[in-house]
Structure 1
Amino acid sequence: MLLMLTTAGRIGAILELTWDRVDLSRRTIRLASNEIGPRKGRATVPINDTLIAALQSAKAAAMSDFVVEWGGRQVGSIKTGFNAAVKRAGIEHCTPHDLRRTAGRFMAEAGVTIDEIAQYLGHTNPSVTRSTYARFSPDHLRRAAGSLELGGVRLVHRTRGKTPKSS
């Protein structure tokens, strides 16, 4: 789950990920399996400090070319294990894709630009990213709120049939 959250990778990209696309010295992961790539965009993402130690341990214990493996074989699905972990954590509903959405939200809340989030998520069209994550940015609607500043403005009270008086 750490790999999914810190790379914001789609589940298919994570399950297909092989060690030849993980560069521990340069601290990058190429989620695309080839240069042409699948229909869904897959980015090359940096490995952060949280993930590097976990990957180093996993690499030392690896029994296959796959980063996510069980008994030396590629894992085809994480549904059973993921659902069990969600249940143990007491979470009512969570899917693997929710980790990807959480990553996008965390980036937006940290003030990462929409263009950077789009690139990290492998979105080809930043407008999709904007419509999904912009509302989580600390600066979202800040200019709109600023246009409603009332400093120095005086309210005018009106009553029926009387001349307005200032307050």
Structure 2
Amino acid sequence: MSRKSEISVYKPKNSDVFHCRISIDGDRKSKSTGCANKRDAEAWAKRWKAHRLKKAEEKAENPIGHMTFLAAVNLFMEQRGEKLVNARGLETFFDWLVDEIGEETPLVEITSEVVSKLIAKRANQSRWGRPDKGLVSPLYAQRAVVDRLQSLCTWAKERWEVRLPREPKWSKHYVEIDPRTRCMSYAEEETILAVAGDLAPLLEFTLLSGVRRADALIRWSQVDWDSRVIRMRVKNKKQHEVRITQGIKEVLESVRGHHDTFVFTSTHECRERAGQRVPVCYKGYAYFFEKVCRRAGVEGLTIHDLRRTAGERMYRATGDIAAVLKFLGHASIETTRKHYVHVVLDDVEERQIAMENARNQAMAERRLRESGS
């Protein structure tokens, strides 16, 4: 498709260099050539015109891909982001990215160079905006930049059929970290449950079911007593079922009658309603878990460590990693193996002893054969 274009080179009053004005399909833009010689300025203007014509052709072939970054973010949040549990935090991350990248920057211009600069800038920021707390971690910088932009670009490609020829190679920007292995010991569990109060049933349910924090906050409508399952939609809206074992049954029966809709409630959810029994909310669970851990004198545990603990314990008891994958609702066994099943020193010692016993038995049998001959 031929495009109507016009170009003019001129020297503004009181300027030492020439400027040029280019109009493509009625879209006019002016820019300094940086050249004091008119012939050089005309050559520069022709190169700029060719660049703008190429961009215009790309936009015509891939119009959605050339939507502004702000428009892409708004559409993504409307279709996807606002439905997520961490919608508010996601919006905060994107607000910062829009300010740094620019509202009018086309989505197709998010390149590896752009991502690298954003990561470097984010990594030089203070934690919670307080210099006395040090800089944010490299992993936080990755999550604030790489994870957010990758999710946006993936959504654009899959849902809007956008072509992103210069999309960054996201894996190059990932931070290499050792997987977290912290689990709750049985001694810690006993200590925490002793001081957990009405949060104890929720903690027990999380340890027995292995579900994530958001998924643990179930309703009675999800509990199917006849089929002995709890049905839920977990991460990425996948269907997941938790079997009602004897342990989980005892937990559920201990809170029956506390609330008509929600299974797990607390009488300390907020100051305004202290003493009233109200459903435990997503943020409330985290707040009270930290409070209970401090009261119990247990350090270094997070709520997600309860899920890891459940997976680890099942693997220790059965050695069946496929069952652990199904139990935790993972799509890939690599995720289970990397983040939820770890070989610790006790495992090494157990196998080391087995190796020594096998060696001693083999040597004893050999000596027995030699003595018999």
CA deviations on 1:24-64 (whole Å, 9 max, x unpaired) are: 333221232xxxx542756311122222122123232224x
Q: TM-score, normalised by structure 1?
A: 0.71
Q: Give the unaligned 5+ runs of structure 2.
A: 1-202, 267-276, 367-373
Alpha-carbon distance in structure 2 between the residues aligned to 1:76 and 1:130: 27
CA deviations on 1:66-123 (whole Å, 9 max, x unpaired) are: 2223434452321221111111221012111111010011101102411110011010
Matched, 1:69 2:277: no
Residue pair 1:107, 1:117 contacting (<8 A) in 2 also: yes
Per chain length, whose mean CA-contact separation is higher, i.e. which structure has more relative contact order (CA < 8 Å, sep 6+)? 1
Alpha-carbon distance in structure 2 between the residues aligned to 1:82 and 1:94: 9
Q: State the match for 1:27 in structure 2.
A: 228
Matched, 1:90 2:293: no
* Letter in structure 2 aligned against 1:135: V
Distance 1:72 1:20, change over 3 A: same
Map 1:113-152 onto structure 2 (within 5 A): 113-132=320-339, 133=341, 135=343, 149-150=358-359, 151-152=362-363
Q: State the match for 1:106 in structure 2.
A: 313
Q: Give the unaligned 5+ runs of structure 1.
A: 155-167
Higher helix fraction (1 or 2)? 2
Task: Work out which of the two has the higher radius of gyration on C-alpha atoms and give 1 or 2.
Answer: 2
* Letter in structure 1 aligned against 2:311: G
* Letter in structure 2 aligned against 1:86: C
Q: TM-score, normalised by structure 2?
A: 0.34
Distance 1:99 1:60, change over 3 A: same
Count, aligned residues:
146
Residue pair 2:258, 2:265 contacting (<8 A) in 1 also: no
SS in 2 for 1:31: strand
SS in 2 for 1:29: strand
